[in-house]
């Protein structure tokens, strides 16, 4: 891990120190995704069957997972794994229900009622990747808020395995949280199918979920097309920033850093501390623990783009963190909650030595689909609100319009929008005529 002394850097050096690994949007990737999207739009299911054979090496007869396949997957899963899925889903549902938006009605002036009503997005498409490893937790994180929001149709696409099946745990989780249909389709072709529709896969209004560079590029392309679909948020590789002082246990800090580094070679982890001694101890622990990991090679590549940042104090650590805007922010200090008010930009925050980021990934109740690559400056993680539309309603009485109509007329006149002004003044004149 590269070591940095923050106070010795000028502004350009600080920008470079917090730079993320470059995301590939090379012409070859863009063009390759464009070709896949165009093929799916033109030939629908036929293209999906061919692309699945080409990229996954599997010849399918049907794209949809059948009820019998769901039953068989459930039967094959260990009882403890099924129990863990249900336990996690229960806590996630509890948190998401309590934090869901609620309707609001306000009388902004006598006779003027303004409301916010909630409407679910009708049909949503969820993507659960299975490249490096299947992610049943993502099926839970996306399916639970979609169900609570009341989405009428919830579809899910996930890659097929060499045996012609989808991952058993993903199927169990999807059924457990209320997903309506699951399809054996992965990659950019799955995004295209859900965005534009095929004979088997209905066109969705909004797409959710992480994926590799091809999936991410496909989401960006369909989101930029008025005929395509909205997406949850821009995506990038997983990342964590840890703020720790000399009181932190270096074993815990190292484990937290490695838990993100093992996601992929383009993941990034940062440790920010005012203690040079802690940086030394954590660096040694990282080396020691790395050798114990089955995905040590992947984690090792990620560590090459990672940072140990020495700062002058915890206030400066917060400055570094807010500039970086991490997907995950872990605070392991003597008084971690004392730093919370100073945190401006982070996808999700983990306070104290007994709060590993892994808990948020799986079962604390929060959502693990979070903004990455600095988008935490302006985006939030997935929630029930992500699956809903907030519609405003206004209703005026005659007295209400009489009270606030002149305000609207003056503003419309200032903007030289005469029809706007007359829509108000004609009504006011009609009231005066009756009076």
Query: How many angstroms separate the CA atoms of 175 and 140, rounded?
Result: 10
Strand partners, 119: 389
153 is catalytic: no
DSSP 199-213: SSSPPPSEEE----H
- Could you tell me the maximum CA-CA distance found in the chain, to the nearest angstrom? 87
DSSP strand pairing (268-273 vs 328-332): unpaired
Strands, E, within 303-360: which ranges? 307-310, 328-332, 348-351
Single out the residue of 250, 373, 382, 272 nearest to residue 318, CA to CA. 272
Single out the residue of 272, 273, 210 nearest to residue 238, CA to CA. Answer: 210
Give CA–CA dist 247/68, Å, rounded: 54
Alpha carbon 360 to its chain centroid, in Å, reads 13
Catalytic residue among 327, 335, 344, 368: 327
Q: Which residues are annotated as a binding site?
A: 127, 189, 212, 238, 260, 263, 328, 361, 415, 420
Cα 261 from Cα 304, distance rounded (Å):
10
Residues contributing to the annotated binding site for substrate: 238, 260, 263, 328, 361, 415, 420
3-state class (DSSP) for residue 312: coil
Confirm whether 368 is a catalytic residue: no
Q: Which residues are annotated binding-site positions for NAD(+)?
A: 127, 189, 212
Burial of residue 305 (CB within 10 Å: 0-12, 13-18, 19+) is: buried
> Which residues are known binding-site members for Zn(2+)?
260, 263, 361, 420
Helices and strands (H, E) in the chain, number of each type = 16, 14
CA dist., res. 3 & res. 10, Å (int):
16
Answer for the pair 386, 145: CB distance below 8 angstroms, yes or no: yes
Among residues 69, 328, 357, 368, the one annotated as catalytic is 328
Helix (H, G, I), strand (E, B) or coil at 24: coil
Contact indicator for 134, 83 with CB cutoff of 8 Å: no
CA distances from 167 to 66, 73, 130, 184 (A): 14, 8, 8, 10
Sign of the CA dihedral with 296 first, then 301, 304, and 309 last? negative
Catalytic machinery residues: 327-328
């Amino acid at each position: 891990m590269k070591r940095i002394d923050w106070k010795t850097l000028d502004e350009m050096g600080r920008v470079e120190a917090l730079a993320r690994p470059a995301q590939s949007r090379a012409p070859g990737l863009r063009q390759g995704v464009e070709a896949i999207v165009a093929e799916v739009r033109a030939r629908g299911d036929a293209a999906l069957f061919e692309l699945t054979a080409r990229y996954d090496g599997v010849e399918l007869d049907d794209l949809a997972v059948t009820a019998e396949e769901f039953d068989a997957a459930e039967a094959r899963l260990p009882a403890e794994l099924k129990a863990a899925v249900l336990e996690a889903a229960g806590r996630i549902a509890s948190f998401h229900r309590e934090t869901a938006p609620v309707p609001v009605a306000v009388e902004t002036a006598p006779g003027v009622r303004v409301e916010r009503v909630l409407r679910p997005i009708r049909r949503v498409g969820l993507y659960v990747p299975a490249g490096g490893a299947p992610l049943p937790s993502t099926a839970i994180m996306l399916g639970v808020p979609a169900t609570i929001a009341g989405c009428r149709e919830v579809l899910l696409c996930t890659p097929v395995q060499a045996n012609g099946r989808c991952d058993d745990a993903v199927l169990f989780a999807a059924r457990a949280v209320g997903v309506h249909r699951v399809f054996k389709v992965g990659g950019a072709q799955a995004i295209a199918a859900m965005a534009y529709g095929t004979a088997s896969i209905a066109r969705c209004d909004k797409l959710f979920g992480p994926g590799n560079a091809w999936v991410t590029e496909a989401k960006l392309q369909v989101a930029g097309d008025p005929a395509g679909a909205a997406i949850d948020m821009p995506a990038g590789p997983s990342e964590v920033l840890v703020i720790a002082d000399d009181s932190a246990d270096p074993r815990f800090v190292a484990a937290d850093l490695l838990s993100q580094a093992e996601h992929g070679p383009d993941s990034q982890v940062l440790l920010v501390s005012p203690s040079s001694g802690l940086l030394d101890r954590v660096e040694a622990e990282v080396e020691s623990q790395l050798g114990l990991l089955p995905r040590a090679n992947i984690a090792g590549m990620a560590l090459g783009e990672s940072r140990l940042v020495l700062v002058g104090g915890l206030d400066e650590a917060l400055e570094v963190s807010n500039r970086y805007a991490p997907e995950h922010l872990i605070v392991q200090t003597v008084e971690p909650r004392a730093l919370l008010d100073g945190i401006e930009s982070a996808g999700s925050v983990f306070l104290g030595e007994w709060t590993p980021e892994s808990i948020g990934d799986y079962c604390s109740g929060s959502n693990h689909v979070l903004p990455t690559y600095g988008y935490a400056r302006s985006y939030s993680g997935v929630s029930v609100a992500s699956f809903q539309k907030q519609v405003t309603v206004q209703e005026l009485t005659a007295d209400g319009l009489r009270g606030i109509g002149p305000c609207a007329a003056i503003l419309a006149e200032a903007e030289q929008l005469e029809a706007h002004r007359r829509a108000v003044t004609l009504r006011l004149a009609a009231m005066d005529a009756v009076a």
